[in-house]
Amino acid sequence: MTLSNSIMWVSAKPPFSSSFLQNPKPLLPQISRPSLHSQSSLTPTIHCGLRELRVRIDSIKSTQKITEAMKLVAAARVRRAQEAVINGRPFAETLAEVLYDINERLQGEAIDVPLTNVRPVKKVALVVITSDRGLCGGFNNLLIKKTQTRIAELKKLGLDVTVISVGKKGNSYFLRRPEISVDRFIEGGLFATTKEAQAIADDVFSLFISEEVDKVELVYSKFMSLVKSEPVIQTLLPLSPRGEVVDVNGNCVDAMEDEFFRLTTKGGKLSVERDSVKKKREGLSPLMEFEQDPVQIIDAMMPLYLNSQILRALQESTASELAARMNAMSNATDNADDLKKTLSNSYNRKRQAKITGEILEIVAGAEALKDFE
């Protein structure tokens, strides 16, 4: 009798399992489970298994380490770049002021200085300075957008435009757009050097002297602070008062937000309004006499002016790029931390639900055995 009962019990196991899986509620004890409605409303639902969640969490941890390291490297480099910008600004600004004053003094004299000659504009050269690397937020996109806007403005006036592209990101962009004429592609270095600036200045000098272009403009990112930079346009050549550079129809071709005129001219006189700490400089005395011929002075100073202005633009662009990369990597690190917390919460909930389900199955099996006994 005992043997037959045991055989009947073994043979009755499959119907028990199927009936339990179909309707487990009669065999389960009343266990209250907390509602997850409030948590699900705060945390997005992630549909994947525990193994996939572990892989994603590990991947995000690795990415967070990379972004944190890139942020620290950019923070270390941006300090050096910021010092180069601050130390280089006084020399570049003072040189531009002196050269501008000398040029104004010589306006009434019959002299011929090729780099100051104002002629009707038919073609404009844009020196566009971008970065060699990405992962710096919208730094390059803002510069390219500024360049596109300026090209559209010049073409609307009926002028031809050629581009001197500096930086791999700008090079790759203009290579994909054959409708934009590019005179030269230049790859920049990690930090701006006088050799690099001189190579760009030589190209600009040859284009302007040969009258292939009648106006040269710089498009770069001006360094404001560690959290702010602004794409600007600056007239490089010719060195002349605002409004004198016109096209063949007499229309002014200066950019409305031109950095050179906005920051250095006021009422026909040169003054610096960029830094409130810097004192406004007095113009040259009208009684001053030059021992050398003024033409020789300007001819000697113009190459230095070109080099200093281009070097300054490169330094400002480098500092802006590093600051943008530092901020972008900081935001990426914070986002990775938030995403890691979200995935960890989802992983813990899924793991807890799995453990709770296993406990319920064990309890249900024990209750079922009691009923059969």
Q: Which residues are catalytic?
A: 136
Q: How many CB atoms lie within 10 A of CB 83?
A: 12
Q: Counting beta carbons within 10 angstroms of the beta carbon of residue 271, is it exposed (0 to 12), middle (13 to 18) or buried (19 or more)? A: middle
CA distances for 225 relative to 85, 135, 260, angstroms: 11, 19, 20
Q: How many CB atoms lie within 10 A of CB 214?
A: 25
Instruction: Give pairs for 95-100: CB < 8 Å, separation 24+.
Output: 95/301, 95/304, 95/305, 95/308, 96/260, 96/264, 96/270, 96/305, 96/309, 97/264, 97/270, 97/272, 97/281, 98/284, 98/301, 99/239, 99/298, 99/301, 99/302, 99/305, 100/239, 100/264, 100/270
**What are residue 270's DSSP bridge partners?**
265
Task: Taking the CA atoms of 70, 73, 75 and 81 in sequence, report the sign of the dihedral they define.
Answer: negative
